[in-house]
Amino acid sequence: MTYLASTRTLNAPLRRAPLSVLEMLRLHRSRRALAELDDAALLDIGVTRAQADAEARRPFWDHSDAC
């Protein structure tokens, strides 16, 4: 158990580490795809149009909750 706790502690800063170029590209494509979904598809995944639009407008380097 101690090992798991220490591993989580050590990995915490990595979650906020800068994204690689490939990760930024993946995030940009994901957000663009989200913006192109119709209302029925958004309803299927439990996301409102306002939430999808807000996420799609975020710049690719903004990954605070994306990863």
pLDDT, tens only, 29-47: 999 999 999 999 999 999 9
| Residue at token pair 């710049």 | 59
Cα-only R_g, the chain: 16
Break the chain into its structural domains and give their ranges.
2-57
The Cα angle at residue 48 between residues 28 and 29, in degrees rounded to 5: 10
Q: What is the pTM assigned to this prediction? A: 0.63
Rounded Cα distance between 55 and 49, Å, is 10
pLDDT, tens only, 10-19: 555 455 566 7
Rounded Cα distance between 2 and 29, Å, is 39
DSSP 51: H
